[in-house]
Amino acid sequence: MIGTVFPLVRPLLHRLDAERAHDLTLRALALMPAGRRPDDDQRLAVELLGRRFPNPVGLAAGFDKGARVPDALLGLGFGFVEVGGVVPQPQPGNPQPRVFRLTADRAVINRYGLNSEGLAVVAARLRARAGRPGIVGVNIGANKESADRLADYAACTSTLAPLVDFVTVNVSSPNTPGLRDLQGEAFLDDLLARTVEARDATGASAAILLKIAPDMALDALDAVCATARRRGVQALVVSNTTVARPACLAEQGLARETGGLSGRPLFGPATRMLAQARLRLGTDLPLIGVGGVDSAEAAWTKILAGASLVQLYSALVYDGPGLIGRIKAGLRERMDRAGVTRLDALVGRDAGDLARAA
């Protein structure tokens, strides 16, 4: 029903400030009655991270920062949902306005600055849904003013790993000063070691994922891949938003806003980085493809580049939740044309070509 209604309410939502419209959307989802989740074609199921994903289309972090409505989001047809980012202590993030729609480019710029209700609030909400079906993960970060960012990640992991299916270590948000510095080899090695240790100390089975930026140089990607493999990370998420501003952007005025750019213009650089990661990791470490997924064709291309799963967020601003079903239907049609019965048969097939794509 919500997919049918969205085209009618979208003009009203887009007259509002983007952050206000987003909050209203979360409130509406919270009021939705619990419904039966859509049945997915068995051919779309993905066995990964010790779990069976009913389909490969997930919701990226940032949409439900506070874990307010993960079950309602699963009910829209997502195969998995990632909540957060979460930091230990509540923080307001950057001053508003901090989210901007680049409508002509089907893009979004945000500089939220990891606004979070804090670890205790999010943990309580996740604890309250214990035992419910559906794959839910959490994205974690560090407080802006933290004196020990590594301890922040460990604290989030210790508390949240027993409550979720996966924990995504976010070192790639462009909106927290110094955070991307943690992608450096020495820092990252220590960070991942402490995160895995914190997870193991709880006895939880949550997978540890690492989310990276699309803007790093290839030699830096080499180091990230080697460190992730060495420290037992179970998947790489490629990628976060970009600080670059492609010359092709139509909304040049809004493009001058600082923050991370997501949506359709991110598809090219994020997919190239994904394919480059696949070439380095092969089948040793699974990849989750994020950035510019707004159609079945985009999701299909991410899979061919090396993604076992995909995530989207910004496309919901323009297409609403009906997009989820259209992507799944489009993937099934492409599988039929390719003559395959399992998506994993296609993962990384075109990585070499897509890594070099202009």
Q: Note down pLDDT in tens along the chain; length 358 residues.
A: 566 678 888 999 999 999 999 999 999 999 988 777 889 999 999 999 999 999 999 999 999 999 999 999 999 999 999 999 999 999 999 999 999 999 999 999 999 999 999 999 999 999 999 999 999 999 999 999 999 999 999 999 999 999 999 999 999 888 767 665 666 688 899 999 999 999 999 999 999 999 999 999 999 999 999 999 999 999 999 999 999 999 999 999 999 999 999 999 999 999 999 999 999 999 999 999 999 999 999 999 999 999 999 999 999 999 999 999 999 999 999 999 999 999 999 999 999 999 998 5
Strands of the sheet with 107-110, listed across from one edge: 99-102, 107-110, 260-263
Residues in the chain: 358
Q: Which residue of the set 116, 173, 295, 314 is catalytic?
A: 173
Residues 6+ apart with CB under 8 A from 12: none
Whole-angstrom CA distances from 27 to 21, 64, 65, 263, 315 are 10, 11, 13, 23, 19
Task: Report pTM.
Answer: 0.96
Phi and psi, residue 284, nearest 5°: -65, -40
CA distances for 59 relative to 140, 176, 256, 271, 344, angstroms = 15, 22, 27, 17, 20
Residue 194 to residue 246: CA distance in whole angstroms: 37
| Residue 109, strand partner residues | 100, 261
**Strand ranges inside the chain, DSSP E:** 46-48, 51-53, 57-59, 80-86, 99-102, 107-110, 136-140, 166-170, 207-212, 235-238, 260-263, 287-290, 307-312
Asked about 173 being catalytic, the answer comes back as yes
Q: Which amino acid is at 146?
A: S
DSSP character at residue 347: T
CA angle centred on 57, ends 54 and 61, rounded to 5°: 115
